[in-house]
Amino acid sequence: MRILLVGASGAMGQSVVRFVEQTTDQVTVALQDKESNEESYEVFTTFEAMSQYLTENPEAADVIIDFSSPKITDDVLKIAEKHQTPLMLATTGQTEEQEQLIKAAAKNIAIVDTHNTSIGVNVMQALVAQMTKMLYPLGYDIEVIEKHHRYKKDSPSGTAKMILKAAQDSIDETTTVLNGRDGVDYERPHSEIGVHAIRGGDIVGEHTILFANNQETLELTHRAGTKDLFVRGALQAARFLVNAEPGLYDMHDVIG
């Protein structure tokens, strides 16, 4: 599998490069911030130059993997559509307008859009739905806590939002979301779900959903030990996309 990697110079991009070197897959084209002549793949710093290369070399990439920034999601979608290349979109923080652009592009190409490529996190999402259906009607309150390294820019994390959505979609009444808590005279309603973000050090990623009533507390936690788990999931999704029909998919489609 030949990979066009967007965000190759970032932490996740470099993890993809290192991991792929141990497989039969290959990074053949990359978009990154700085020019480089030291890589084994073609490096570009602008979408225009990369698009020209892809026009001249239409077999250069079987799939695009994007671990960059929502600031360039629009341009990534344009490249993917123009060159009819499936897209593994693993960035977080897209606007509602960008989400609509993703849906529109998926009419022409296959896209996996996910906030977390970890297999475990996506299994956790399914478990959250089941637990919420069982526990919320019995009066259990729900809170979501996420922890990441000090350099993570968006908050709450995309994965926390995935977990939150899984819980909300499993509740038959309207819920409200409170990001963090502050104040001295506020009583928590049952229909409220608190979401809390912690930033510090080199925490790869940790997500917990808490169910609590007056007698007990249940917690479900996913803890990432290394970025390689995200790379492994992204590559599995990319292989899925190579033979997929145009459409919008998520990791649940990938793992079945």
Count CB-CB contacts under 10 A for residue 149: 13
Cα→Cα distances 231→19, 20, 23, 44, 248, Å = 7, 9, 12, 22, 20
| Structural domain of 127 | 119-223
What confidence category does residue 202 fall into, taking pLDDT thresholds of 50, 70 and 90? very high
Q: Is the pLDDT of residue 38 over 80?
A: no
Q: What is the pLDDT of residues 85-95, one digit of tens each?
A: 999 999 888 89
In the prediction, which pLDDT does 154 show? 87
The single residue of 148, 161, 222, 227 carrying the catalytic annotation is 148
Q: Is residue 169 domain-shared with residue 195, that is, in the same domain?
A: yes
The answer on whether 105 is annotated among ligand-binding residues is no
- What lies within 8 Å, CB to CB, of 228 at 6+ separation is 15, 19
In the prediction, which pLDDT does 58 show? 93
Cα→Cα distances 59→2, 34, 41, 94, Å = 9, 24, 14, 29
| Known catalytic residue at 71 | no
Q: Using alpha carbons only, how large is the chain's radius of gyration in Å?
A: 20
Question: Which CATH number do you get for residue 242?
Answer: 3.40.50.720
Q: Is residue 30 domain-shared with residue 56, that is, in the same domain?
A: yes
What confidence category does residue 36 fall into, taking pLDDT thresholds of 50, 70 and 90? confident
Q: Is residue 99 domain-shared with residue 190, that is, in the same domain?
A: no
Q: Is residue 127 domain-shared with residue 214, that is, in the same domain?
A: yes
Question: Which CATH number do you get for residue 150?
Answer: 3.30.360.10
Does residue 256 fall inside a structural domain?
no
| Known catalytic residue at 152 | yes
What's the domain count of the chain? 2
First to last CA, the chain: 21
Per-residue pLDDT, averaged over 115-138, amounts to 95
Q: Is residue 9 domain-shared with residue 59, that is, in the same domain?
A: yes
pTM higher than 0.85 for the full model?
no
The answer on whether 190 is annotated among ligand-binding residues is no
What confidence category does residue 153 fall into, taking pLDDT thresholds of 50, 70 and 90? confident
